[in-house]
Structure 1
Amino acid sequence: MESAKLVLLSLLLFWHQTCSGSHDTIAANESISDGSLVISRGGRFALGFFSPGSSSYRYLGIWYHDIGEQTVVWVANRNDPITGTSGILTGHGYCNLFLYSNSSSKLPLWSANVSAGSNGTCVAQLLDSGNFVLKEGASKRITVWQSFDYPSDTVLPGMKIGLSRRTGLSSFLTSWRSEDDPGIGNFSYKLKPSASPQLFMYQGTIPYCRGAPWQWERWRSVPWPWESNHDFFNDTFDNNEDGIYYSTAIMDSSVYMRAVVDPSGILKSMTWDEGDGRWKAFYASPKQKCDFYGTCGPNSKCDPSIVFPYECACLPGYEPRFPKKWHLRDGSGGCVRKRAEATSICGEGEGFVRVEKVKLPDTSAAVWVGLGTSKLNCEGECRKNCACSAYATIDIGGKGCLLWYGELVDTVYFPVSFHDLYVRVDAEEFGKNWRNRTGKELPFFCGLWLNEGFVSFVEFLRMYPVMCLRTAKKRRIRNLFHPNDGSNHFTDSVVTEQMEGHSVYPELPFFSLNAIRAATDNFSPANTLGRGGFGSVYKGRLPNGQEIAVKRLSANSRQGLEQFRNEVLLIAKLQHRNLVKLHGCCIEEEEQMLIYEYLPNRSLDLFLFDRKGGTVLDWTRRFSIIVGIARGILYLHQDSRFRIIHRDLKTSNILLDGELNPKISDFGMAMILEADQVHGKTASIGGTYGYMSPEYAVFGKFSEKSDVFSFGVILLEMITGKKINRVYSEDDNLNLITYVWERWKEEKALEVVDSSMEGSLNAQEVLKCIQIGLLCVEEDVQDRPNMSMTVLMLNTAMPLPRPKQPGFPGTSCFNKSRGAAEGSFSVNEVTLTGVITR
């Protein structure tokens, strides 16, 4: 009898699998078991059982069905995994869904928890949006439950994040515990509806990262996946009697897009690249120091574009609460009023100082003053209450304002923001702030009114000489970056627009010449770190003990001037652990200098090609350096604000810090590619022969793959301990690439390995890296991997393609124009930089 029941149950399960497993619905009293799928009508999503990563546990989830990578977007039994493949999901006559660990279990692991329904009239359906819905009624049009109301770690187009006022249900994201465990993790991303609604990332219950206040920022400064591009997306903000929600609808159904909170608390926005067969992240946050909530404490502003002397600055009228900690770059204590007696700032002569272009402070304790309010009335409203510390004017179909009471937390400079914060200060601070305004032209003063009184002509005469001197300095800086000399050197309009008109290039601190002279002992020869065609590099020490490297431009160096412009325009915007940090610059008298972080171990080539230094670099250390360099290049190509091609990657441009971590330097030849630009071309080629790809060395064509070629050369140098331009036989074509390629074809690749690494080798890892190096230096640019794939190959055990013909002297591409090209380059590893044209 029992065996007959088991046979009958097996037949029923098989019938359910064949009848419902290939359809998009589960009818009342139907089931699906492990191994069967519910597939949405258009085939985009599937619902079934899966095991994440290397886990053997089973979970019920939804994933993309028609792409090559199983990408899970929703999980039912997140904290209650199933052991084995006996799980079963069943419909219910009373309009519900239940998940059981096996067919004989009486207690469900998960249910839709629907409390009402009509017997026999419900159906569960998986939609092409990825939403799993439970519908009732004769026409099945009434949705009684949907998975979109209960997100896991992923948000899809059409999904709402927010709060229902009717049911009290809050829809928010929670991270997985790990890649192998979809259980509820430590991070959540949810709407905080109080005052002016905001989106927060929480670590547990502690704010971790915050978006800008509700809709007026158009979400451009929010750690949120999609900016307002109405050709593809349609942002919707709802704040009505039903609830408070944010959602995005996608206008192009062929685009696959999602955002996910990963286990480390980073919100990543991704699109599926059909050509590469992978998800590409086009946004990630928190990413830099100022993205984290309250980094600089209350009453301060964090500026992500300034890394020295400090990202944090007190708001007008405030000073550090703990000065010693502040100078040690710990700003968590924030700022307090400069004068204790000014705690109440009501009084004659008080005013408001504008802080431009910011992500407005946390609005949890702010008050909204209704539409139609003008800026003047906003200020007047704030003056009425001595506890009002700041205001901002907002435009949502009309004017309005936000008023802050008490501390101002998490204010961040954001250059593309169109909102300013007006901070309340006492009379002394207000007067001081006006006196420090410089660079204004005479017509401006003719109409200036200050605190309902006209500025005195005497005060103007007193300030005008100082004003003129500072205006002249600004003009000199502007001319340096926009010379009217007919040159067609590289500049980037986006960077330039952000630099102009804002306190003389605020993203890059300016050091005085006296400060640099003192730091370098008046450019003492004993402090010289190196020399080049651009000038010299000196070691220095600032008064706070910070060690620096000063690149001093030679007065007669046109190359250095171009490099100087390029580095200021580019590297000041870049922040990555594998890129050298630019602390600031000095432009004074006839001097132009760049101030970098000091890296005590100098450049990689000094270690790699020195017999004693090479012994320090065992294989483990070399592999770590290789991966670090690759990640730095990937950041330039994909994750930085701009797509940057370095064009001069070589071991001497890889610097090492105290722990031998690599940092890419020397951006004097770097170029930016536009978003839709695949490659560029220059008539004036410069670089180091041997590291340059064939298409660039001969035809001046550069792309991301040019840097990939250079990285491949560096990788082979790291493995062999030999320089690229060394000759290995009487045949002058047998350089390092040829040497490694010949040994690879003979299956003797390990013979090329640097003998100083003997005893530390991981033969399998070394062979993999040799193969990756040869893939990167292939002659045909189309055959080389991009840096994203290169990093993936370095960090995984994925199968690798067999390398094809590499590009080196003697191959067809070089031979086409070798004679014309030879005169343009140096074979002794000296970089030649000319005027760069597109």
Structure 2
Amino acid sequence: MPSNYAISQFAKSRSIKGAIMGDTRSIHGFLVLAFLILLTAKFSHSADTLFPGQSIKDGGKLVSASQTFELGFFSPGSSRNRYVGIWYYKLSTKTVVWVANRESPVFDASGYLTIDGEGNLIILDGIGRSITIASNSGRTNLTVAALTDAGNLVLKEWSGGREGRVLWQSFDHPTDTLIPGMKMGLVGKENRILTSWRSSEDPAEGDFSVGIDPNGTRQFIIWRRRDVYWKSGVWNGMNFSSIPEMTRDYYIGFSYSPNWNGSSFSYSLNDSSKPVRTVMDVSGKIRQLAWVETSQEWVQFWAGPTNYSCEIPTSCGVNGLCNNYTSPACSCPYGFEPTSHVAWNSGDWSGGCVRREKLECGNGNGFTEMKRIKLPIFFSDTGVLSMDIDDCKAKCLLNCTCTAYASAHGNGTGCLLWFGDLLGLQDHYDGAQDLYVRLAASELNHAADNGSKRELWIIVVPTVAAVMLLLGVFLCYLRRRRLYLKAKNASSHELQLLETGTNGAVAYKASEALKDGGGQKAPDCTLFSFPTIAAATNNFSASNKLGEGGFGPVYKGMLEGHELAVKRLSRSSGQGLVEFKNEIALIANLQHRNLVRLLGYCIEGEEKLLIYEYMPNKSLDSYIFDPTKKAELDWTKRFHIIEGIAQGLLYLHKYSRVRVIHRDLKASNILLDSEMNPKISDFGMARIFGRNESQANTKRVVGTYGYMSPEYAMEGLFSEKSDVFSFGVLLLEILSGRKITSFRCQDKSPNLLGYAWELWIEKNILELMDPLLHDACHSEEFSRYIQVALLCVQGIAADRPTMSDVVCMLSNESISLQAPKRPIFSVGRTPDAAYMPADRREECTVNSLSVTALAGR
């Protein structure tokens, strides 16, 4: 096949003038030239340049000169659609960094890439459809397309056998990936952002995008359907304020060189032979990855936002203050109150906070100082103003719409202004600054803002403290007397136990453990009257019944426009007052996005009711074990559920006010809200652990067979590792879509643990995968999560990881995992189906062994 260089030299050797004068040799030369061009157009090639008249058919490719990047047609995952993309040439894993036709796929292998008569780079398919990739913006119709060693597809002028100026380049039109040499932000009139794929098999634009803040604040913002979802914090010359771990040696083994140019951001590496990339993925996270040659895999060294709820600015709504280290995480700053108290108390903080008193221009407004706060997202379009903090205050005060101000650099220089509601406030944050929030005159304590009145504080504070102390003692006396009289006159002995907590060991322990450092008891949940709940549930109508568990029936209710779930203790239930009190004492004081929220309770005569937030999607078992409904749980949703359950357990074990062992974690006790977020429920069997307590023993073993750890089921010993075992079982169920307590004899295993272990030993673990996940799940990820599950269900409790370890293993693919040991409960107790007569090989279960508890609940 003739080379492009030979063609160009042949063209130069024949003049058009000779052809016009009848030079038959020249005419013959042009015919030969035309034949050569047509000949080359029929073949695909692996050069780095596409010339006029040439095409790249499906299966052909362009390869950059240094063989770093490759361009061609590909299909993502199991999709049959064909796309033109750019990926790394030498890597063992095809990693696509750019997609030309992400919104317009070719539906078969008939497509080819070419340059049309007007110099545009286009894709043509078998049905005659033309998809324009790059438009020729020059005056010439003769153009060429070249793939550079940086991974940039460039459309250039072609004149006299030489490449001219650049007319278009793929670096100006990024998709979901940023690689060294690319720029993000405003470059000329182009606003370059990264937009996630719609799914792992569809590169069309998804819900999430990331780019430079258009307000000129030198920070990244992630948008979710155009709403602000996360921000990186302002770039200070070394790192972003929300990513304090970013330094010049941020890349392990790499030299990192960030560059700001006007409103754009880019980075480069001194060693370009080590591939790195930044990806906006389908889950809404920015992931930064580096290729490790020794292990032949991409290693993630940072991802944001993290799993902490405060990383998402909208977690607490507008004007809400978020704190990852408190429970609940959201509160309203001074001078503000929840927009909806009912929604706020139910754990729904998305509505945010509103001012108690509206601002009135020129009516004595002032500012209150919020110390060490992560600054909100939105501020003045004018950017950083060159003035000190006093002038900044005066400028904000003069503008009636200005709601807050702060120092731009945290040292009293520069000025940032906010207008309207504040979004993304966060307390106890590294690298935070002081923020001054505008309040109405009636909300301000002028003594705190006036240095001339400091002496008054010396007198007022001790006096007020003494009065408050006396008032506290008096109120404490009244409360004790009220409780005593109420207990004395109560018709039900159970009500006395619930309120005093002095006649039940469990209630007493919970009451004592839930005291804070100052010795004050934590706030109790709301006590509802029985008529109120009866009216909310339409007198416990059968049409309102959601289901029934060991506690009793559960009803849907409506109170003040908010949906509720009401658990009504059945008289025939094995559970009683102990579990009822335990649930109230524990869950009322535990607040986390992955724990179900207890709104209140009711006890009246023989009636005992627990009132929860309503979960419209019911429990997890209603999805993963239903042949029809589990199709709604794709790989992304299942991982989201797994991650949420792990975060909830981690909170119980490590970050809650008291350390809690759930003891009954199973699929039916995981509830799903409207967005399929998991919520751990049913704390009737939970136990509080002291901070220095590692293990406890009980003579009353409760829980569900299959989910109970060996040491708990056989010896009554339980600890955090008991919950870890249950989580491992639950993880296997979610990934496989099979129940732990029901199994086929012909599978040669007594239960799911045994089956998973056999497949692991045989290195055939993908056989365990739910068939619905085969088309969407990456085999490496699935194998890794199964390995985590098997580590959680190891027979010896000490061998199992903690929930902190589990969360790290699930979220960080760079962590190497240990080889699991055989689960104790994987040993079979049934005859091998291979030796059973054919007429006896039938489905059998261990459901007869699946009981709620070994002792009465």
TM-score by length of structure 2 reads 0.57
Alignment of 1:633 onto 2:650: no
CA distance in 2, matches of 1:470, 1:141: 86
Write out per-residue CA displacement over residues 436-462 of structure 1, whole angstroms, 9 at most, x where no aligned residue. Answer: xxxxxxxxxxxx974764333331123
Residue 423 of structure 1: how far off its partner (Å): 0.4
Residue 199 of structure 1: how far off its partner (Å): 4.0
Superposed, 1:6-405 pairs within 5 Å as 11-13=39-41, 17=45, 20=47, 25-26=48-49, 32-40=56-64, 45-52=69-76, 56-65=80-89, 70-82=94-106, 84-89=108-113, 98-101=121-124, 109-111=132-134, 113=136, 115=138, 124-127=146-149, 130-133=151-154, 146-164=169-187, 167-176=188-197, 182-184=203-205, 188-194=209-215, 196-201=217-222, 206-211=226-231, 214-216=234-236, 218-219=239-240, 221=242, 230-232=250-252, 240=261, 242-245=262-265, 247=267, 257-260=277-280, 262=282, 266-269=284-287, 271=289, 283=303, 300-301=319-320, 303=322, 311=330, 313=332, 315-318=333-336, 338-339=356-357, 342-344=359-361, 347=364, 350-354=366-370, 356-365=372-381, 367-370=383-386, 373=388, 375-376=389-390, 378-383=392-397, 385=399, 387-395=401-409, 399-404=412-417
CA distance in 1, matches of 2:734, 2:59: 45
Match of 2:544 in 1: none
Three-state SS of the structure 2 residue aligned to 1:354 is strand
Question: Equivalent of 1:796, from 755, 774, 784?
Answer: 774
Write out per-residue CA displacement over residues 657-687 of structure 1, whole angstroms, 9 at most, x where no aligned residue. Answer: 799997434696899xxxxxxxxx9787999
CA distance in 1, matches of 2:826, 2:75: 54
Which amino acid in the other structure matches residue 36 of structure 1?
G
Three-state SS of the structure 1 residue aligned to 2:174 is coil
CA distance in 2, matches of 1:684, 1:791: 36
Is 2:179–2:276's contact at 8 Å kept on the other side of the alignment? no
CA distance in 2, matches of 1:148, 1:639: 42
- The share of aligned pairs that are identical, in percent, is 21
Three-state SS of the structure 2 residue aligned to 1:416 is coil
Match of 2:458 in 1: 457
Consecutive unaligned residues in structure 1, runs of 5 or more: 435-447, 473-499, 522-526, 587-594, 609-613, 672-680, 723-735, 753-769, 818-825, 833-838
Q: Quote the RMSD (CA, aligned, Å).
A: 7.1
Residue 807 of structure 1: how far off its partner (Å): 8.3
Question: Greater CA radius of gyration, 1 or 2?
Answer: 2
Write out per-residue CA displacement over residues 596-652 of structure 1, whole angstroms, 9 at most, x where no aligned residue. Answer: 9467999989x99xxxxx9x9865468889998875334455899989899956448
Superposed, 1:620-659 pairs within 5 Å as 620=628, 632-637=641-646, 650-651=665-666, 654-655=669-670
CA distance in 2, matches of 1:718, 1:808: 23
Superposed, 1:554-573 pairs within 5 Å as 572-573=591-592
Which amino acid in the other structure matches residue 512 of structure 1?
P
Residue 48 of structure 1: how far off its partner (Å): 0.6
Residue 49 of structure 1: how far off its partner (Å): 1.4
Three-state SS of the structure 1 residue aligned to 2:217 is coil
Write out per-residue CA displacement over residues 76-133 of structure 1, whole angstroms, 9 at most, x where no aligned residue. Answer: 2344544654544458999x8723427999987222646389999x882343x54445
Match of 1:413 in 2: 426
Is 1:654–1:662's contact at 8 Å kept on the other side of the alignment? no
Write out per-residue CA displacement over residues 562-600 of structure 1, whole angstroms, 9 at most, x where no aligned residue. Answer: x999x999x745x3xxx43356999xxxxxxxx994679
Three-state SS of the structure 1 residue aligned to 2:443 is helix
Residue 172 of structure 1: how far off its partner (Å): 1.6
Match of 1:580 in 2: 595
Match of 2:523 in 1: 512
Alignment of 1:422 onto 2:465: no
Is 1:125–1:134's contact at 8 Å kept on the other side of the alignment? no
Distance 1:181 1:78, change over 3 A: same
CA distance in 2, matches of 1:428, 1:404: 23
Three-state SS of the structure 2 residue aligned to 1:455 is helix
Aligned residue pairs total 674
Residue 791 of structure 1: how far off its partner (Å): 7.3
Distance 1:321 1:693, change over 3 A: closer
Is 2:404–2:436's contact at 8 Å kept on the other side of the alignment? yes
Residue 324 of structure 1: how far off its partner (Å): 9.3
Distance 1:643 1:53, change over 3 A: farther
Question: Equivalent of 1:744, from 726, 729, 747?
Answer: 747
Segment drifting more, 538-547 vs 72-81? 538-547
Is 1:711–1:776's contact at 8 Å kept on the other side of the alignment? no
Question: Equivalent of 2:445, from 423, 431, 434?
Answer: 431
Is 1:351–1:451's contact at 8 Å kept on the other side of the alignment? no
Residue 75 of structure 1: how far off its partner (Å): 1.7
Is 2:345–2:599's contact at 8 Å kept on the other side of the alignment? no
Residue 162 of structure 1: how far off its partner (Å): 0.7
Residue 35 of structure 1: how far off its partner (Å): 1.0
Residue 796 of structure 1: how far off its partner (Å): 2.8
Write out per-residue CA displacement over residues 413-445 of structure 1, whole angstroms, 9 at most, x where no aligned residue. Answer: 2542412321022443121896xxxxxxxxxxx
Is 1:712–1:773's contact at 8 Å kept on the other side of the alignment? no
Residue 16 of structure 1: how far off its partner (Å): 5.0
Distance 1:192 1:602, change over 3 A: closer
Distance 1:716 1:323, change over 3 A: closer
Consecutive unaligned residues in structure 2, runs of 5 or more: 1-27, 474-515, 532-539, 541-547, 570-575, 602-609, 655-660, 797-820, 828-848
CA distance in 1, matches of 2:737, 2:204: 42
TM-score by length of structure 1 reads 0.58
Three-state SS of the structure 2 residue aligned to 1:215 is coil
Write out per-residue CA displacement over residues 741-778 of structure 1, whole angstroms, 9 at most, x where no aligned residue. Answer: 75213xxx9xx9xxxxxxxxxxxxxxxxx8x7654455
Is 1:318–1:335's contact at 8 Å kept on the other side of the alignment? yes
CA distance in 1, matches of 2:470, 2:51: 82
Is 1:520–1:539's contact at 8 Å kept on the other side of the alignment? no
Which amino acid in the other structure matches residue 151 of structure 1?
P
Distance 1:420 1:705, change over 3 A: same
